[in-house]
Structure 1
Amino acid sequence: MSTSPRLPWTQISPKAYQAMASVGATTANSSLGTILMELVKTRVSQLNGCAFCVDMHVRDLRKHGETWQRINSLCTWREAGLYSARERAALLWAESLTRLVEHHGDRAADFDPLKDQFSDQEIVELSWVIAQISAWNRMAIGMHAPVVEKDMA
């Protein structure tokens, strides 16, 4: 696979890029918490196969003090007892909204656990975080955003 970007997409369409960045800036101020949002962004990026975004969000998790064990176990979060009920509810919802084709229906089984862990405001903000990272994944994959080797100290 080519590791060269296809197009300088952020420069070709700067207004759309800035609008996406503005959504991210808005959700960054959420009461969801940085670690929870980064776990969700990483998991959605794993599901979508976005190497650039997985790399970025794993780095962000490490910067915020997340352990390698929890990061490495994220793809098996259901089996690993390393995540809180709040994180598990968010990850379930993230997978449900990411795997749309696999889950036609009302998604009540995926939505109901959110109500015990999050306010209505937080549920909507979490849904925006999931929607936005999915959009970023599609742009990064489509435009071949490269993963550049960096030190992971």
Structure 2
Amino acid sequence: MEQRLNFFQKGNAAMRSLFGIAGHLAKTTIDKNILHLLYYRVSQINGCAYCLDMHSKDLLAAGESIQRLLVLDAWREAPFYSDKERAALAWAEALTVLDSPVFPEDVYKEAAQQFSEEELVDLALAVTTINTYNRFNIAFGAAVGTYQVGQFSQKQEAA
């Protein structure tokens, strides 16, 4: 798809607000690889090629295995995800695919065993934020394949 609009333009107020959220999430106590796995999984669900490209590059640069990335879509059946990663992935899926107006109690309880209350809030914020980025990228046709590892880290740290 051809890029329709470069919404990452310098000075875009909407993007500055999202970068502010990203800046907050960069300081969370949640392991950054868990966040990137969550971002990757949500982007799989939403079919956001730009975010899949971005987060796969970030995960690989941080030492993530190719096997875990290739099998992430079937994480429930795969033996190589930790309990904490599983809780985060279930949380992400439940917030991304809203089958009901009631959040699944079992997903909440499992996540609450793995994460603090503050981290649960940050997990919810991370999921809603990547869903927002996915929708922007899909709507405006982000330039898939152009992301470089660390490209947005300065914007996040400045936010």
In the aligned structure 2, how far is the partner of 1:70 from the partner of 1:110? 22
- Alpha-carbon deviation of 1:88? 0.3
SS in structure 1 at match of 2:35: helix
SS in structure 2 at match of 1:111: helix
Q: In 1, are the aligned partners of 2:91 and 2:108 still within 8 Å (CA)?
A: yes
- Of the three residues 98, 115, 118, the one matched with 2:115 is 118
- Of the three residues 104, 107, 126, the one matched with 2:104 is 107
SS in structure 1 at match of 2:8: helix
In the aligned structure 2, how far is the partner of 1:38 from the partner of 1:65? 12
Alignment match, 1:79: 77
Q: Write the letter of the residue equivalent to 1:84.
A: S
Superposed structure 1 runs of 4+ greater than 3 Å apart: none
In the aligned structure 2, how far is the partner of 1:72 from the partner of 1:142? 26
Unaligned runs of 5+ in 2: 149-159
Alignment match, 2:32: 34
Alignment match, 1:90: 88
Q: Write the letter of the residue equivalent to 1:126.
A: L
Task: Give aligned-pair identity as a percent.
Answer: 36
Q: Write the letter of the residue equivalent to 1:83.
A: Y
Q: Write the letter of the residue equivalent to 1:125.
A: D
Q: How has the CA–CA distance of structure 1 residues 53 and 127 changed in structure 2, closer, same or farther, with 3 Å as cutoff?
A: same
- Alpha-carbon deviation of 1:93? 0.4
In the aligned structure 2, how far is the partner of 1:145 from the partner of 1:30? 27
- Alpha-carbon deviation of 1:28? 1.0
In the aligned structure 2, how far is the partner of 1:45 from the partner of 1:6? 20
In the aligned structure 1, how far is the partner of 2:147 from the partner of 2:50? 12
In the aligned structure 2, how far is the partner of 1:28 from the partner of 1:84? 21
Q: In 1, are the aligned partners of 2:53 and 2:147 still within 8 Å (CA)?
A: no
- Once the two structures are superposed, the pairs formed by residues 130-149 of structure 1 within 5 Å of their partners are 130-148=127-145
SS in structure 2 at match of 1:11: coil
Unaligned runs of 5+ in 1: none
Count of matched residue positions in the alignment of Structure 1 and Structure 2:
149
Q: In 2, are the aligned partners of 1:96 and 1:103 still within 8 Å (CA)?
A: no
Supply the RMSD in Å over aligned alpha carbons: 1.9
Q: Write the letter of the residue equivalent to 1:143.
A: F
